[in-house]
Amino acid sequence: MRNLKSIIGIAFIGLLAGACNNNEEIVLEPVALKSVINIHAPLTTDYSVNPPSESGDFTKFSLRLGTVVSNDLWDIAFRGTSIIVNGGSEIGLTDEPMRTGNGALALETGTFGSIVEAPMSTAFKQDATDTYALTKGSGNGWYTYNRQTNQISPIAGKVIVVKTNDGHYAKIEIISYYKDNDASKAENGRYYSFNYVYNPNTGDNKLE
């Protein structure tokens, strides 16, 4: 046991040194730009009550896998324009999934390319009772709503940096809220397309 501890200790020092010296022995997995299209995030709204109530399952997404998942290993989840993160506690919504991880997110301003590393931990927020980590509402978070055209548009220059449920960093730029990027029909709404960069190295805050 003592041996094991010292081995780990040595390995850790070696790893640190390796990281500092950019030693080739430690191979960091490449950070790649990926994109997903048409992630469907349906929502049921009941207008018979005032204020209208929202329900329906959130569409849970894993940044590590790059797909929609149904288990607890999700990072962010979508329902309509709401985005929640797998970290913190339940907001108090109908059909809301349990928070099982320690994820968080930060809404950064800049071009996608200019966000080269995750911000300081103080910028990250988690969901909490009655509070979204990513503020809801037109102009408050990631989108604006145009009352004339009834369209949702992602605000240019908004990048969501996510700390995943297992402590990886990723950045997301939402490109479209409409199926096949076609906002001309209202029924195309609630389909997310976004670009993202996921750093597969745990705790490494580099995002390029």
Residues found near another protein in the complex (CB under 8 A): 47, 50-52, 54, 109-113, 130, 136-140, 144-148, 150, 153-159, 173, 175-176, 181, 183-184, 193, 195
**Nearest CA to 69 among 92, 47, 36?**
36
Taking the C-alpha atoms of residue 142 and residue 158, their distance in angstroms, rounded to an integer, is 6
Cβ at position 161, least distance to another protein in Å: 14
Query: Partners of 178 in the beta sheet?
Result: 189
Q: Is the peptide bond before 97 cis (omega within 30 degrees of 0)?
A: no
Identify which of residues 131 and 205 has a Cβ nearer to another protein in the complex: 131
Nearer to another protein among residue 139 and residue 167 (C-beta): 139
Nearer to another protein, 169 or 196 (CB): 196
Min. distance of Cβ 3 from another protein in angstroms? Answer: 51
Q: Which is nearer to another protein, 118 or 159 (CB)?
A: 159
User: Smallest distance from the beta carbon of 180 to another protein, in angstroms?
Assistant: 10
Nearer to another protein, 157 or 203 (CB): 157
CB of 64 to another protein, least distance (A): 23
3-state secondary structure at position 44: strand
Q: Which DSSP letter does residue 88 get? A: B
**H-only helix segments in the chain:** 2-21
Output the smallest distance, CB 45 to another protein, in A.
9
Could you tell me the end-to-end alpha-carbon distance of the chain, in angstroms, rounded to an integer? Answer: 39
Torsional sign, CA 123, 107, 105, 91: positive
